[in-house]
Chain A
């Protein structure tokens, strides 16, 4: 069983379209994340949700909207796709807990979604 699974693995679309990427974790974690990895392999956090509450919201265009229907799912919807959105998007999860000092905070990553905007 895959711990953090994202779909689709590949997404090819045209500029201006709206698309969604789904993420599910079966680890029982309370925190989920979205990262963007650019062509130079730099990993940068976009969002994180703890118990369905938005915790981290980096400076990303508001065309990107995360949605967490429950603790096990964090989806990413992207409106009006642009060429610069082409990248690999990773979902991750961790157990942060109420007392962050007691949690080990290890993040487990999905296999990524390669988005190509033409």
Chain B
């Protein structure tokens, strides 16, 4: 299967700091997604990217679809305590037998100190 490497594995930052995390793949994807999981809940979609080079923002979050289609990053600016959670990248091929299949990174655990 596809291997997604997500880094860093964990981050401990102070409120107000900016955060950056990234994901790389051994294969290309047609879609990159970023999800956030709060404790006791399921992953919730933050940003979806559909074209190589695409840069998309959602409030304080910005994500980019790498030009090689093998990587993506997520930035969070001016972090706040409610940003705490696990952030997952996910790649999707959207083609044939892989219809709907999401390949997830191992997650970045974000802790924000007030």
Q: Which residues of A contact B (CB under 8 A)?
A: 4, 31, 33, 40-45, 48, 50, 55-56, 90, 92, 94, 96, 100-101, 103-112
Min C-beta distance of B92 to chain A, whole Å: 6
Known contacts A100-B94, A105-B94: A41-B101 contact under CB 8 Å: no
Contact A33 B100 (CB under 8 A): yes
Min C-beta distance of A85 to chain B, whole Å: 19
In the bound complex, CA of A42 to CA of B106 (Å):
5
In the bound complex, CA of A103 to CA of B50 (Å):
11
Question: In the complex, which residues of chain B have a beta carbon less than 8 angstroms from the beta carbon of A56?
Answer: 100-101
Number of B residues with CB within 8 Å of any CB on chain A:
25
Question: In the complex, which residues of chain B have a beta carbon less than 8 angstroms from the beta carbon of A90?
Answer: 42-43
Contact A105 B100 (CB under 8 A): yes
Contact A106 B43 (CB under 8 A): no
In the bound complex, CA of A112 to CA of B38 (Å):
11
Beyond A100-B99, A106-B45, 10 additional contacts (C-beta under 8 Å) are A31-B99, A40-B106, A41-B86, A41-B109, A42-B106, A48-B101, A50-B100, A96-B100, A100-B100, A109-B43
Q: What are 13 A-B pairs with beta-carbon distances under 8 A?
A: A4-B42, A40-B106, A41-B37, A41-B86, A41-B106, A42-B104, A42-B107, A43-B43, A45-B101, A48-B101, A100-B100, A103-B94, A109-B43
Min C-beta distance of A32 to chain B, whole Å: 9
